[in-house]
């Protein structure tokens, strides 16, 4: 008996922590992240990177994703981007390596294994990135003393920073509250929100005429509010596919009703992931170029500062590449997360039919088509939001503001996720409380007397 | 009176919708949040973002001060 109890304790369900406990630990880990982002790297002159950021627009996008840590050259200068890159690489490799694809779909055990591989790969990528960065920038003035030991110390510290952030992200996701990676990204973006608001208002002050300035500022503020609203609207749009079951449920003693349910398909199913992936991939050529200190002309396509500029109009092709990446990653992510064949099979098993569609292969094809169109629509919406900072850069030179473009999608999706999880956790707590209440009632003397 | 066999009319072929036609149809059939809900969400998101930004700003100032004490 004792053995059995011990076994249950060892392998049984984990104790569910309270919402307060989870939120407290999440906030504490985010606080530690902010502490780390204030610890500067030794031997480093951060003004060198700040100058580089002014020249290279794509590095600005990269800097936004790292939460401004690249500009400050802190211990976590690379942010959580190596972890994101590692997860992209692993997901793409799932197409080439079948065992990896199986692992991705193998429930919690596979997920655990994938998480460990992602962390290892992110550390390797972080090490490579930091070594190249220190060797490339170090020679040109980033390091006060350019020697093998300064490169090693800085690269080592940056790699440790990558590991710590990746670990924090997974810890928050698995044990605490919310999506760890997007929370760390959001915290990084939000830290420059107040400062950027001021820069934005200053940029809109194009004349000394007060009424005109007020008019411009109002339009600017309304435009940003519209972007937030549009992003939130995109997040909540969904297609509800109605499923009718052959079994009937009793409404009362005489009546019966047809059992129905809904399959909700979100307009942006991948949420913030496609945009993060696209931004990371887009920033890579510019990053490598800046490490090597070269200026290859055709790589201007990947440099956002050259988009829609008069000196190199051909570089604007990069915008199309960026949009294609956003749509493709959205489609790919949706394809990984949704198994139409399995849904169709389950519907058939339980006697469910989508209205007007035959069960089996037809249902599978219908779901696949629906997903394809929805992803395309969501992708177009996201491309519109991503285009705004590019256009704003042409008129006001304010492309790197934290509340324009991809950052808005990240912040809105992350806040939406937090709100959704908070609501779900609260509902769960209420249910547990009500169950406890019922137990209490059952144990009470009055209840037992009434039953007797 | 065997007369001519009646020519049966071919049923009209359904026009295949283009990709963009399908996209338009999908956009119409989406379940969208109402305008009032969208406005509420926008206000909520902006307020939430600024509250978080303010909190992070305060924490950042505190951390900077503490780090300055040590360095």
- Mean pLDDT in residue range A225-240: 89
Q: Residue A243, SS3?
A: strand
The pLDDT of residue A49 is 82
* CA of A346 vs chain B CAs: smallest distance (Å): 24
Mean pLDDT of A194-202: 82
Sign for the pseudo-dihedral over CA of A58, A60, A63, A69: positive
Q: Which of A263, A247, A267 is nearest to A364 (CA)?
A: A263
How many angstroms away from the CA of B6 is the closest CA of chain A?
34
- For tokens 């596979």, the residue is A110
Three-state DSSP class for residue A429? helix
pLDDT band at A6 (very low <50, low <70, confident <90, very high): low
Token match 């926008």: residue? B42
Q: Does the pLDDT at position A71 exceed 60?
A: yes
Q: What is the pLDDT of residue A196?
A: 82
Interface of A with B (CB under 8 A): 31, 34-35, 38-39, 186-187, 190-191, 193-194, 225, 228-229, 231-233, 236-240, 267, 369-370, 373-374, 376-377, 403, 411-412, 415-416, 419
* Closest A-chain CA to B46: A228
For A149-161, what is each residue's pLDDT tens digit? Answer: 999 999 999 999 9
How far is residue A348's CA from residue A343's CA, in Å, rounded to a whole number?
9
Which chain A residues are Cβ-neighbours of B48 within 8 angstroms?
415, 419
| Chain B residues near residue A233 by CB distance under 8 angstroms | 32-33, 38, 41
Task: Give the gap in angstroms from C-alpha B9 to the nearest C-alpha of chain A.
Answer: 27
Is B53's Cβ below 8 Å from some Cβ in A?
A: yes
Residues contacting A74, CB < 8 A, separation 6+ = A36, A37, A38, A39, A40, A41, A161
Which helix H or strand E contains A289, and what residues bound it?
helix A273-292
Which residues from A are below 8 Å from B41, CB to CB? 229, 232-233, 236
CB pairs under 8 A between A and B: 87
Residues of A in contact with B37 (CB under 8 A): 236
d(CA A11, CA A77): 40
The span from the CA of A355 to the CA of A241, in Å, is 8
The CA-based angle A60-A306-A69, given to 5 degrees, is: 5
Distance from CA of A387 to the nearest CA of B (A): 20
- Angstrom distances, CA of residue A39 to CA of A76, A108, A178, A214, A343: 8, 36, 26, 40, 49
Q: How many CA atoms lie within 13 A of A27 on its CB side?
A: 10
State residue A257's pLDDT score: 67
What pLDDT sits at residue A441? 58
Residue A451 pLDDT level (bands cut at 50, 70, 90): low
Cα B54 off chain centre by = 28
**A12-16, A26-30, A401-405: which range is least confident on average?**
A12-16
Element (H, E) at A173: helix A148-175
pLDDT (0 to 100) of residue A54 = 73
Judged by CB atoms closer than 8 Å, whether chains meet at B27 and A377 is answered as: yes
pLDDT at A309: 76
Whether residue A299 contacts residue A144, with contact meaning beta carbons closer than 8 Å, is answered with no
Model pLDDT, residue A124: 94
Q: Give ipTM to 2 decimals.
A: 0.77
Give the pLDDT of chain B (71 residues) as one tens digit per residue: 555 666 666 666 666 777 788 888 888 888 888 889 999 989 999 999 899 999 988 998 888 888 777 76
pLDDT confidence band for A352 (50 / 70 / 90): confident
Residue numbers in A near B53 (CB within 8 A): 190-191, 193-194
Cβ contact, residue pair B67, A38, below 8 Å: yes
pLDDT value of position B14: 63
Q: Which residue has the higher pLDDT, A199 or A380?
A: A380
pLDDT tens-digit map of A122-158: 999 999 989 988 888 888 888 888 888 999 999 999 9
Interface test with B, best of A40, A185, A233, A420 (most B CBs within 10 A): A233
Q: Is A421 exposed, middle or buried (0-12, 13-18, 19+ CB in 10 A)?
A: middle
Whole-number pLDDT of residue A157: 94
Q: How many beta carbons lie within 10 A of that of residue B24, not counting itself?
A: 14
Nearest CA to CA, how far is A84 from chain B (Å)?
23
**Among A36, A235, A272, A373, the residue to mutate for chain B (most B Cβ within 10 A):** A373
Higher pLDDT among residues A197 and A105, named by residue: A197
What percent of chain A has pLDDT above 70?
A: 86
List the one residue out of A148, A158, A246, A183 whose CA is nearest residue A28: A183
What would the two tokens of residue B16 be? Answer: 């295949």
Chain A residues with CB-CB distance to B59 below 8 A: 31, 34
CB neighbour list of residue A64: distance below 8 Å, 6 or more residues apart: A188, A189, A400, A402, A406, A407
Q: How far is CA B56 from the centre of its chain?
A: 29
The pTM of the full predicted model, rounded to 2 decimals, is 0.79
Strand partners, A74: A40
Nearest to B26 by CA among A8, A370, A378: A370
Contacts of A229 in chain B (CB under 8 A): 38-39, 41-42
Q: State pLDDT tens for residues A261-308.
A: 888 888 887 667 787 778 778 777 777 777 676 777 777 787 777 777
Q: Look up residue A341 and give its two tokens.
A: 């064949």
A42 vs A246: which has the higher pLDDT? A42
Cα A223 to the center of its chain, rounded Å:
24
Token digits of residue A188: 């990084």
- Residues A166, A401 contacting (CB under 8 angstroms): no
| pLDDT, average across residues A310-328 | 85
Q: Which pLDDT band, with edges at 50, 70 and 90, does A418 fall under?
A: confident
- A46/chain B closest Cα distance in angstroms: 16
The beta-carbon neighbor of A267 closest among B30, B53, B56 is: B30
Q: Does B21 touch chain A (CB under 8 A)?
A: no
Question: How confident is the prediction for chain A on average, in pLDDT?
Answer: 81
Q: How confident is the model at residue A14 (pLDDT cuts 50, 70, 90)?
A: low
Mean pLDDT, rounded, for A436-451: 62
Diameter of chain A measured on Cα atoms: 90
Read off the pLDDT of residues B31-51 as tens digits, 9 standing for 90 and up: 888 889 999 989 999 999 899
Distance from CA of B64 to the nearest CA of A (A): 7
Mean pLDDT, range A351-379, rounded to an integer:
87
Is pLDDT above 80 for A378?
yes
């Amino acid at each position: 008996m004792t053995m059995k109890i011990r076994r249950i304790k060892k392998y049984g369900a984990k104790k569910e922590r309270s919402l307060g406990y989870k939120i407290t630990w999440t906030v504490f880990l985010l606080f530690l992240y902010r502490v780390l982002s204030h610890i500067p790297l030794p031997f480093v002159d951060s003004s060198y990177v700040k100058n580089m950021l002014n020249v290279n627009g794509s590095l600005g996008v990269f800097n936004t994703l790292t939460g401004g840590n690249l500009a400050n050259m802190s211990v976590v200068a690379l942010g959580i981007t190596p972890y994101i890159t590692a997860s992209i690489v692993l997901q793409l490799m799932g197409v080439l390596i079948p065992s990896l694809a199986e692992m991705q779909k193998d429930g919690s055990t596979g997920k655990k294994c994938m998480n460990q591989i992602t962390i290892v790969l992110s550390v390797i990528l972080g090490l490579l990135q930091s070594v190249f960065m220190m060797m490339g920038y170090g020679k040109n003035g980033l390091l006060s003393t350019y020697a093998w030991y300064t490169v090693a110390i800085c690269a080592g510290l940056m790699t440790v920073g990558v590991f710590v952030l990746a670990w924090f992200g997974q810890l928050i996701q698995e044990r605490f509250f919310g999506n760890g990676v997007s929370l760390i990204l959001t915290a990084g973006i939000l830290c420059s929100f107040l400062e950027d608001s001021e820069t934005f208002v200053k940029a809109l002050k194009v004349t000394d005429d007060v009424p005109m300035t007020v008019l411009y500022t109002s339009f600017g503020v309304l435009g940003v509010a519209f972007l937030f609203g549009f992003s939130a609207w995109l997040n909540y749009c969904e297609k509800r596919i109605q499923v009718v079951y052959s079994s009937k449920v009793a409404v009362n003693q005489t009546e019966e009703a047809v059992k129905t349910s809904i399959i909700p398909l979100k307009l942006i199913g991948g949420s913030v992931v496609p945009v993060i992936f696209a931004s990371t991939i887009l920033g890579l050529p510019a990053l490598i170029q800046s490490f090597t200190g070269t200026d290859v002309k055709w790589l201007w396509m990947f440099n956002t500062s050259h988009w829609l500029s008069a000196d190199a109009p051909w570089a604007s092709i990069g915008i199309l590449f960026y949009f294609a990446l956003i749509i493709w990653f959205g489609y790919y992510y949706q394809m990984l997360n949704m198994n139409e064949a399995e849904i169709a099979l389950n519907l058939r098993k339980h006697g469910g039919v989508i209205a007007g569609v035959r069960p089996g292969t037809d249902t599978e094809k219908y779901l696949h088509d629906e997903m394809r169109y929805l992803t395309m629509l969501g992708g177009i919406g996201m491309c519109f939001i991503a285009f705004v900072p590019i256009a704003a850069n042409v008129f006001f030179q304010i492309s790197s503001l934290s509340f324009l473009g991809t950052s808005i999608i990240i912040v809105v999706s992350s806040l939406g996720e937090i709100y959704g999880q908070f609501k779900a956790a609260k509902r769960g707590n209420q249910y547990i409380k009500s169950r406890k209440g019922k137990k209490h009632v059952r144990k009470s003397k009055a209840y037992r007397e009434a039953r007797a | 009176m065997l007369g001519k066999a009646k020519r049966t009319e071919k049923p009209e072929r359904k026009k295949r919708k283009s990709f963009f036609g399908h996209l338009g149809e999908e956009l119409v059939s989406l379940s969208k949040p109402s305008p009032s809900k969208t406005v509420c969400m926008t206000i909520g998101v902006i307020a939430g973002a600024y509250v978080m930004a303010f909190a992070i700003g305060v924490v950042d100032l505190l951390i900077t001060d503490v780090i300055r004490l040590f360095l």
